[in-house]
Structure 1
Amino acid sequence: MKHRSLMLAAFLALGVASAAGTKAGTQITNQASAAYRDSTGTKLDANSNQVSTLVKQVGGVTISPDGTPTTPGQQQQAVPGAEVVFPYTLTNTGNGTDSFLVDTMVDASVPNTVAPATRVVYVDANGDGILQPGERVALPQSGGKSVFQNVAADGQVKFFVVLQVPANAASANKVITQPTATSSFDSTKTDGVSGSTNYSQINVVQDAVLSVSKSVVSTTTESSGDLTVVYRVQSTNTGTQAASNVILADDIISARSTLPVGSTIKASSAVISPTTGTVTYPNTDGDSNDNDQVQAVFGSVAPGQSVQLTFTVTIPAAAAPTSSQNPYSNVATVTYTGSTGTTTTTSSNTADVTKAPTAAVAIGPNGDPLGAADPLTGAAYTTGEGLTVTPDNADTQTVASLAAGSSVTFAQSVRNTGNSSDVFDFTAALSDLPAGTTVDLLRDGVPLPDSDGDGTPDSGPLAPGETAVIQVRVRVPAQAGADANGGTVTVTATSSVDTSKKDTTTDKIGTVTAPSVAIGDASGNNGGTPSNPIDRSVLPGAQAVFPMEVGNNGAQPDNYNLSGTVTFPTSSGSVPVTVVYYKDLNGDGVLDANELAAGPITNTGTIQPGQEIKLLAVVNTPSNALPGTLTVTQTAESPVTNTRGTDSNDTVTVLQEYNVALTPDRSGTTTSPGTALYQHQLQNDGNTSFGPADLSFTSTPAGATSGWTYLYSFDSTTFFSSIGAAFSDASARNLLGSSNPTTLDPGEQVTLSVKVNVPAGAPTESVNQLTLTAATTPASPATGAVLRDPGSSPARVTDTTRVVGGKLAIDKTVDNCGVISSCTTVKSGADAFPGEYLRYTLSARNLSTEALTEVVLRDTVPANTVLSGVSGPVGGFYRIASGPWTAVTTAPVAQTAGTLVEFAVDSNGNGVIDATETSLSSGASVTFTMTVRVN
């Protein structure tokens, strides 16, 4: 029951380290992106939402060595009354910490078997396979079984099964036993409990009995990197008669040894005791290694006498590193002749040696990871922003000039120059660049993951000699102004195997030029000033309005995209709310009806140098927001120059209020005609259950409303023309809550779906705001109950729908396919066990009135997974790591974490992906899927 399938072996070869796969509790996160050109030829991109999957725990256990009653894994001879020790290893093959119940079974089914007089389990504390006096420590017990507590995933416990042969046992008797183990986490995961798998056998004799043990005396890492190991083999005659022609032997390159090829026994290193024996270095195994055998021959060993062989082995520096769970191991033998002339060979315990990995890393300019360490110099290249970067051979690459408010994306090559798989953490240090300069670390345009969970972005696993390319995006703030001297970013790659091993490279910006934009509260300065903060006190669900200004302080006309967020703590976790912007047409700082009717804006339009635009920033506070003061972070950013201004000194103070909550605000874009679907959570934040009779709803459209219609549902399937009817239906069909299905109990919530139908002919950029409210209105509230006032401040959400005519939206979802790679069935939830498949669905939709070209969807294989499948529409193609395009009808070769996968459609039907494909017409969508297997 220890054999793995060939498929599992294939995945292990791709870098799966854990026996049961990815460690329990690991978060697998993934985000996709898309690149395209609009009708003006401008190259644009878009990022999808991020999806996350939690790896769940699985149990597993094995005991080795294996053996059956007919072919025992271990055999020893013993005289009546003698103690016999069998060493074993228990391995936690699950992916989380577990405890195990360990027992021993005695099998009397084989002829001439007798039960042992005693049988005890001890832990081999130092792991040398030799029972020391100090290791005879009683273990915790449960139900008469020994407990091995808190064994880490892939962890091992070396232990002994100690048996005493009955004093009345006769020659030719046998004692056959096996240890068993059961997982505490999952009692169905066992070894030896059902089936003959771990059997050992004692053969009872009245003769010489030589036990043999092997131990590691010392290990030394030489300056050359070679590992020198001193082994000791010892044999004691525990029988009643003398043994003759005793041979202690070891063949270090054999079926019983996992020492690497190239290991040798050091010439003349063997020392024996007593010295009356003879040492030889035979070469009788027929392999190409002339220095892999040693033996010591003793003429006779009396009862109670011990003999010993010590020798030295050299393991070459080039040999792969090992771990304590998978060491280099070796077994010696003793061969002897008893008083009856019978020759017996007995094997020792396994002696284990761990060879530490050697970590090393090189990071340098694009195409030159070794930098100054080799004569190679990377070629100059053009960044995604259209800037030229020139590498040199001194580990530096330079962009001559960068406009303030814009970014430059350097490409870096990083190589694992160690001898083991490693994960490299990346950090960036800025020098002499303007205050507020930021650095993003990316791979294929997507933020670098933290695959090992240590809080620092990293490369993901890289095999020895493997090279990866990452991007370092440096953004200089617009307020920085010009800087004739520029500055540098030093990027450091640090090994996870050995954090003292690291390498650095330098990205240089020659000069910084200065477009500039300012955003701030209304003032006499162009673009406001962040020195006059405003605080708005609001009830949950209410709006906070901030008079704002955006000013162009550069030398050229520019326009700026507006964005703002406030992160509110709520009863269900942190909720980010998007700031909605309106033009303050009369400059009075108040959101008037005509300004609301004009609809929100996301871009200022063109602003001339030295001019500004007055805005009203509206924050729709979540209806379940907790009390406190929150920072409003607002940004104005040019889509042309990337000039960026930020204001973060304004605050929203949420006042205290209770009972029913309806969250969150939603906003979206769609075409005309079209449909927008929004989902909200209706939650009981009070302490009293309520049903339809205790709740009142309103729905109020604003902005563009002519011809717009709205439908509501609590199961996302059956829709009603009013929220009240939908809520009554949910109650009648027991869709509410869990404890009491006919009511919504304290802390429980249900999902309210709102379908907004946009009529044909709705003008582009017209905006509809549908405001929904909910209030508790019980007929007889308890004395002293605090109710949300249904008149002035009910629970409220706003759905903002904007009719658009442009650009691309990309959405991403994840499904758990269980163990079926074709994903014909989908499990509830996205959490997954190791070995299960995750299907990521990427959907891109053209929201514009124009055709988009060169549409390419991009994704990367997430950490702790392996690519197993792709699918897409007719004419769909994919490519791996910028290689050749392949039709989705051809299954991909398994790819490791971090590999870039791109998708496109052969829109002209010529069987290839041309330079201008894929085209996507107005309103059209395209969907691809990528399936991965969790390690």
Structure 2
Amino acid sequence: MTPAGTVIRNQATALVGNERYLSNVVETVVRPLCLPSLTPNGTPTTPGQEAGISPGGYAYLPYVLTNAGNDAFTFSLSLVPDPHDWDPAEMAIFPDQNADGLPDNSTPLTQATLAMGEILRLVVGIRAPASATGSLLLTPVARCPNGQEDAENYARITVTTGPALSVEKQMPPSALPGEEIPVLLRVRNLGTAPAHTVTLLDQPLPLPFVLGSAQAPKGRLEYYDGTTWQQTEPQVVKGVRLVLDRLLVGEEATLTFRLKVPPGTPPGQVENLARAEGPGGPAEGRAALEILPIYQHHLGPLGNPRALPSGEGSTNDRQEAQGLAGQPLCFAHTLENAGTVQDAYDLHVEGLPEGLGYWFTGMDRSPLTPPLVLGPGEQMDFRVCYLPQEAGTFQARVVALSQATGARNTTVDLLNLLPANALGLVKEADPAPGTTLKPGDVITYTLRIQNAFASLSQVAVEDALSPHVEFVSASHGGVYEAQAHKVVWTFASLPQGETLLILKVRVRANTPDDSLVANTFLLRSQETPNPLTSNPVTHPVFSVNLLLRKEVSPKEAVVGDLLTYRLTLENPSSASLTIRITDTPPPGTRYEPGTALFFPECQGGGEALEPRRENRSLVWENLSLSGKGKLCLTYKLRLLPGAPKELVNTAQALGVSGNGAATASGKAQALALLKPGPFALGGMLLGRVFLDMDGDGTFGPQDLPLPGARILLSNGVQALTDSAGRYAFRDLEGLHQVMLDPASAPFPPLPMPENLGEGYRKRAVVQGLTVVDFPLRPPRGSVQVFRNTTLRLGPFSVEKRIVQVGDRLFVELRLKSPEPLPELTLTDPLPDGGAKTFSFAEFKGEEVLVYELEKAVLTDPEVRWRYP
């Protein structure tokens, strides 16, 4: 009952970012509400009081008036006799401040002004005429200024001759559960003759009796245990009475005792009827007790809402837990309605830093929306969940607010929050992330769980595989779920520290070029319901290499000439690429500015495209090459003085796809030769390796040249002797050491004056043309060359000859190519059918092949290779 005139104000607040916005203020004024309450209540059929009256005598009926409204009001008081057998000679309402059941004075009351909640004791006085017979029903009426009234308060007065008993019963108008209330019973003889053997009793009692509380100045006390009346007070008193041997005219007797409202008694009205039996009776007196509601609630940790044993605000009313930033941290609580009526409770949390959110859930984690409605004695378990974004220590005060009274009860949650990186997931891969893979390649993933947070329970680790890979194996019992195409690890618990899980997958054979194999893994546990995700690792897939071909024109040039180089690059894949071409010009050359031309799809007149200089290399970047497409690039180098005799130019291309796949070409070379000019100067060291058949130390008609012998200079430059056993080193000058490799010429040298050591090394001063021969002791027997032939095709040449050593015939094949030739196959037909076949994955340089032959028949060999 909110007091009249109270102003209820309401205003809404909105937070947008860091700005706070307020709505307009709405005000509500509580209006006065007048409610009179007059007790005891009674109806015509069930009067609240009964009294006897003698003709011409008086009867007194006690009442209590309460202002049950929300403001001070003036109540008008009146009496309504209806129905009645006789008209009262006098009838009025008097104050009874001393609560003795008799008027305080002779001035009747017609109105009473009471403050909110104030009570006023009244007594109704009635005098019967001398000729009165029968009974009278009478009700006092209390009326508000607006007409609201309480008129159901009937009492019955019966005219008797001789003794006339009157009973009054008094109790407080209201009480709370747990309180003791005093009860007063008063019996009077208002008749014209004494009443003998009068009993004043209260049975059954509406509330538990307080043992030892019954008192009576006169008469004999007796107690009822539910079966019999006895003078000794039993352990359980169901009724109490006062037995009087005699009650004289005008005499009164009283009985007082106490009753207790049991804790938890629901609110409501308790009526109690007292009765007087004997001559002049029976007479009844009724009183009503309003049991007030108790609003009380407790909020505390789960299962301990009262925070026992220490209670509210103690350490028993506090919970502490460790959490992780970015993960919800939940505390379980119990709310108890310790009152006697149903109440609704609003929940909120105080003391949190700005931005730290919270919500309420049931114990089954379902959303819970306050207010919580609880009946008397009912409890509810719930959880408060917080979602911290930063590390730190925070104290949250959880508040339960009664909607009925506004009373608060609180409990404290202490959050100790570690940074999010206290539990980290790191994904590693071998090959390293970013490495371009080919179908069939195996990737080994390492799932690294770094836990400095806490021991985790009910842990699930999931690794969703890329559609471009197939599962191979997993450590620690990881299970591959084919339908979801993922690997799952489950652990009942995972301790602090580092845990490593290994997962192997294979790139599928049908993976398209420029596909991206991406992979992460996640972890969830009871402590981290929000899944944690690792860093991603990605691998592009590309199955083919670029095809690069390089050509130079002219093949021979002199100092000052321009060499034109042409690069042709093809993309066997269907994925588009961004190309970088790196070309390293040979020493002694210089790029001629403005000569570089770019030909998309190797067509058209070409677009000018200058290279970028990077050390000695020329670099063309960001060239677009479509799937299955090709491009061409031409440029020119000028030949400078001092250039080497052989001009080897190397180029390589690197392509990067849209997804970062990298594919490269093999190194492509182009060979050009420097023709010496007519005035070129330089020393030359030459000589011959031969079997000295006559032992004179010089080459003669009978001597045999030794082809394929390896001659080396001290600076590492080497040469092989030709079919005539000759070798040559150009552009030399000064003192040099020249050596014959014994492994290529397994014959002892003849002793000569210039020999060093065993004679495989010689010292020579090169001036102009200098000759150094290596005569060797011939083996026993002889070697004779019958026939020879030479095949040349592009950069490749093969020289075939048949030699006789003793009685045996041998075929010697000498292969030579300055450029790498992929998938080279040489087929040498045999005289009697069939052939000898020699295969090379890639051939470059020189090599000698020998096999034995039955007949001295010379056939022509065949050779083929694949251009890129």
- Classify the TM-score, shorter chain: 0.3 to 0.5
Structure ID, larger Rg? 2
* Larger RCO, structures 1/2 (Cα 8 Å, 6+ apart): 1
TM-score by length of structure 2 reads 0.37
TM-score by length of structure 1 reads 0.35
